Structure 1
Amino acid sequence: MVWPAPAKLNLFLHITGRRADGYHLLQTVFQFLEYGDDIRFAIREDGAIRRHGDVPSVPEAADLMVRAAQLLKAETGCPLGADIGITKRLPMGGGLGGGSSDAATVLVALNQHWGLGLDTDRLAALGLALGADVPVFVRGVAAWAEGVGEVLTPVAPAEPWYLVVKPPVEVPTGAVFGAPELTRDCLPITIPDFLSGRGSNVCEPVVRRHFPEVGKVLDWLGQHGDARLTGTGSCVFVAFEARASAEAVMTGLPATWQGFVARGTNRSPLLAALDRACAAG
């Protein structure tokens, strides 16, 4: 069975402060896309965890998929292992949550395949040990997020079609969060504020300054709607009511940019896969 690891968008991103340990306090909304990586599993009796598939520049031992599987084994004492294969579509450094989504899918899928029976709260807690974005992928519902991104409240924004564009650059999260000019004192807003149209991505000015090619994408897509940066990555998105409209704009992309069109969804494709797996026994 193939398990999806969907992309996410940050529909806005405000930073409201900074903890003593250096982590930033934020407000954001996560929404999933019907697009992402595909992950396959073959269960091993020898307990080994092996990755298969090309993941450029990520050593196997450092891969969040492998770390997620190893963490699940360590926490439960499960004697089984897994061969994990991936078809990678989500770009590195794009702000689409690819690594976190892959880790969440491994936790959810192996919990099912290994027959562990851990509930969502336990899996989300394990995910948090791997990264602040992993719990939202484990829970699988669009969410208003606070804290460092782990305090989640379900929300239901509109589910438009998105054109997502990535220029040929990667934006390291550390470069953005470490920038002295980054706005870190946004006044908190509320969910009704967001749903009424408030909110922006305060990382955009920093990324524009240090990665001009991303600024070019923001300007180009901005001719067709409210173009926004997702997270702290290099991907930019704009919403459309109709798929055909998004695809028409995509035909004009400069040759050096990559893009795709996908529907936004408030229920992750991972949950649909879990439903199918449970029904199949």
Structure 2
Amino acid sequence: MTGRAVIGATARFQAPAKLNLALRVVGRRADGYHLLESWMVFFPLYDELSVTVTDGGMSLTCDPPVTGSVEENLVWRAARLLAERYAVSCGARLELVKQIPHGAGLGGGSSDAALTLLALNRLWGLERSLAELIELGVRLGADVPFFLGGRSAWVGGIGERLMPFAEGLTGALVLVFPGAGVATGRVFQRLNGRFPVRAAPLGMPAAGEGWIGALENDLEAPALEIEPKIGAARAALEAAGARATLMSGSGSTVFGVFPDVAQAMEAVAGIGVNHTDWRVFSGGILNRHPFHAGWGDERDPDRGHPGSGGPR
């Protein structure tokens, strides 16, 4: 350890969701990992992580549970990986409260893992560089390096290549999770090596709302074959007045872009009434991770407009 941990120190942090505004599958490595190009941004839907430094040992509670055992949870795995890599002598009590739907294409588990690395790196006084944390993060999941990077970015390779956007993206969004998750592995199996041939790689998006006309996701078609509710979610957003719609990641969450905040919040109310088993959220694009804006409960001033009173 290069710094000094304070036993009993406690802090709370927020782990945001992510959205893929564009996602291309451009190849596959010999080890089976798929090569991607994506535009990724943060969204103001948060899991909350409370961390207390202890004099030894590790514990985790997760509400609600999302894995069969604590040891399978990405928060636990991230904490153990960091502790073992740097021979940490103290421990941590970790308490995770989930709001991001599990298996929704919003990166909740990856966001939690990245936040665990960032928070414990600080609270344990390790002072490891971002490059060192990313080296660990890619071992936990393809989306973890993006959450560690802290800014909206072009993401490539298996998630380890990051190029932050020079200017922020904007948009009034509504997210619909249609009550059924989709396993990422099944989606890639259904893709079955069908990589579209393109004339040019995915470049950087235009600032502001200039990205809206370039929405694409190579995983949407195979995910639709597995879960028809994804199509129903898109139809509901289009009927509510969305300018454009797209599935995020490997699904099953679909987002819609609306002309303004008022219409987005109207859409949330209408969809929520007609589909009581769905979870619906409104919010603006976040271009920075809240951890990098300050400690604990401080939220990013660039966080966009708030959600409409939480999930419906």
TM-score class, shorter-chain normalisation, is over 0.9
Deviation at 1:148, TM superposition (A): 1.5
Q: Structure 2 counterpart of 1:37, which letter?
A: D
Contact kept? 1:182, 1:206, Cα under 8 Å: no
Alignment of 1:105-254 (within 5 A): 105-155=115-165, 156-180=167-191, 183-187=194-198, 188-192=200-204, 197-223=213-239, 224-253=242-271, 254=275
Q: Distance in 2 between matches of 1:250 and 1:25?
A: 34
Deviation at 1:55, TM superposition (A): 3.8
| Structure 1 stretches lacking a partner, 5+ long | none
Q: Which of the pair has the greater relative contact order for Cα pairs under 8 Å at 6+ separation?
A: 1
| Cα deviations by residue, 1:110-147 (Å, 9 ceiling, x for unpaired) | 11111111111111111111111101101111110111
Partner residue in 2 for 1:270: 291
Q: Does 2:99 align with 1:89?
A: yes
Contact kept? 2:105, 2:250, Cα under 8 Å: yes
Partner residue in 1 for 2:5: none
Partner residue in 1 for 2:62: 53
Task: Please give the TM-score of this superposition, normalised by the length of structure 1.
Answer: 0.92
| Structure 2 stretches lacking a partner, 5+ long | 1-10, 299-312
Q: Distance in 2 between matches of 1:273 and 1:261?
A: 24
- Quickly say closer, same or farther: Cα 1:214–1:199, change in 2 above 3 A: closer
Of residues 65, 68, 83, the one that matches 1:73 is: 83
| Cα deviations by residue, 1:163-217 (Å, 9 ceiling, x for unpaired) | 1110111100001001155632342434257766334011111122221111111
Contact kept? 2:172, 2:258, Cα under 8 Å: yes
Q: Distance in 2 between matches of 1:184 and 1:84?
A: 41
Contact kept? 1:6, 1:270, Cα under 8 Å: no
Contact kept? 1:17, 1:185, Cα under 8 Å: no
Q: Distance in 2 between matches of 1:113 and 1:121?
A: 18
Task: Please give the TM-score of this superposition, normalised by the length of structure 2.
Answer: 0.83
**CA RMSD for the aligned pairs?**
1.9
